[in-house]
Amino acid sequence: MKVDLDRGSIGVGMNDQSVKDRLAEDVKTAMRARDQRRVSAIRMLRAAITTMEISRTDRKDPKYGQPVLETDILAVIQKEIAQKRETIHFAQVGNRTELLEKEQLELDVMQEYLPQQLTREEIRAAVDEIITEVGPQFRAVMPVASQRLKGKADGRMVNEVVKEATS
């Protein structure tokens, strides 16, 4: 099965290079610079992407046979970032400063591969536009907002803004 990464590109902020290509180049650069934490974070992302690509070859997977798009890769990166944030939270609760520092550095590296995130004001403007289209009911606004802002804004922040705007 051929995996097609060029279709569905949504732009990643740095020229027309795919995220996967940037990861491959950046891991080499980090290895040359002997930046072990950066190498570790990038390898973690590459492993998660490879796992997702391999799952597409499993007949039991609902996305079996579908090409891997840039949006799929960004979704994997967002999932890894969410896991890092959870680990950071538990490191703070457990007062584990050495783990906290390591995880925060890895989180910072991972966030470099996401497109520029929308500000709260930009999210509010988009939500206000959606409200004029579908009405001020949370149940009507949230699915549309989630779909339109996917990959461009943090889901929790979108949820908060929609709650504020519809209440």
Return the domain boundaries, the chain.
19-111, 120-166
17, 29, 143, 154 from 23: Cα distances, Å: 10, 10, 32, 22
Which CATH number, 1.10.1510.10, 3.20.20.20, 3.10.690.10, 3.60.10.10, labels domain 19-111? 1.10.1510.10
Sequential pLDDT tens for the chain (167 residues): 333 333 333 333 444 578 999 999 999 999 999 999 999 999 999 999 999 999 888 888 888 888 888 888 988 998 999 899 999 999 999 999 889 999 999 999 999 998 888 889 999 999 999 999 998 899 999 999 988 888 788 888 899 999 998 88
Contact 150, 117 (CB under 8 A): no
- The alpha carbon of residue 140 and the mean position of all alpha carbons in its chain are separated, in whole angstroms, by 24
pLDDT of residue 5: 32
